[in-house]
Amino acid sequence: MNYRLLYFASLADRAGCAAESVESQATDPATLYAEIAPRHGFTFAPTRLRVAVGGRIVDWTHTLNDGDEIVFLPPVSGG
């Protein structure tokens, strides 16, 4: 399946881009993160991230669909 990934803050710095398309057999965010984290050198454990699909927070076992926009959210620091 093809997914659109958006990256923010230190994850964007590590990935070297703000967005990319990824071809993957993963069907949930946990599996997808395990695939891409080593490739980009992401050091966050999933327990320290939240994940959003289509602009909504979902859990790590959420079933992904072809074309989904997925964001792994590092701990926030607004305010």
> Where does this chain bind another protein (CB under 8 A)?
6, 8-10, 12-14, 44, 48, 52, 55-57, 71, 73-79
Residue 23 or 73: which CB sits closer to another protein? 73
Cα(55)–Cα(37) distance, integer angstroms: 21
Q: Percent helix, strand, coil in the chain (nearest 5)?
A: 30, 30, 45
Q: Least separation, in Å, of the C-beta of 56 and another protein?
A: 7
Helix or strand (DSSP H, E) at 11:
helix 9-15
Nearer to another protein, 21 or 25 (CB): 21
